[in-house]
Amino acid sequence: MSEAFINDDVTVQQYFEELLPQMFAEKFEVNPPVGLDGEEFRVNYHVGDLVYGIRITSGIVMVIVPEAIENAHLTNTLGEEDWRAAVTGRISIVNPVIDYNSKKHLDKIKNFKGAFKLRLSREGGNPFNSMTVFNGVDTPEVTIIAKAPDYAMINSGKLNPQMAMMTGKIKFEGSLPFLMTLGSLNQ
């Protein structure tokens, strides 16, 4: 089950307690984790008024609790409308719980400190807004500003991020060094 097949009426509780564990299990069956034996990855999601903490051990054991967990590597905050757009695939963003399953990615995440904000404009709707804080430290900070389809092309590899910046398809506010460091996450 991919995020593109999640219905608009999914609840936050249903997603975190049923669908995300199912997607996670399907992902590691097809694409097993690399070098994560004994490693732990901790993520908190603040969706509207709800909070879910996720602990992944050795890249294969996922525990989800309806509260924040201590010492999260990532804390993602977004409104329910924006969360729903992301989980249903209407907005294309990286899902770290599903997309990062190697020691290389985890080591990079563990070393980042700062806040990454995303502001994507979408046709006929409110802008999509999210914030990811790395390792509980909210500075430096950078905000990416783009149209949702352009950002999706960057995520899919169809548009080079540097070219998108030079042509004005993507803009940023805040720390350029932090932005450049974040760009290395998917390499």
The pTM for the full model equals: 0.92
Is the pLDDT higher at 126 or at 186? 126
Of the candidates 86, 89, 102, the residue with the CA atom closest to the CA atom of residue 185: 102
**pLDDT at site 177:** 92
What mean pLDDT do residues 51-75 have?
Answer: 96
Is the pLDDT higher at 99 or at 163? 163
Q: What is the pLDDT of residues 7-43, one digit of tens each?
A: 999 999 999 999 999 999 998 888 888 889 999 999 9
State the chain's mean pLDDT as an integer. Answer: 91
**pLDDT at site 1:** 43
Q: How confident is the model at residue 3 (pLDDT cuts 50, 70, 90)?
A: low
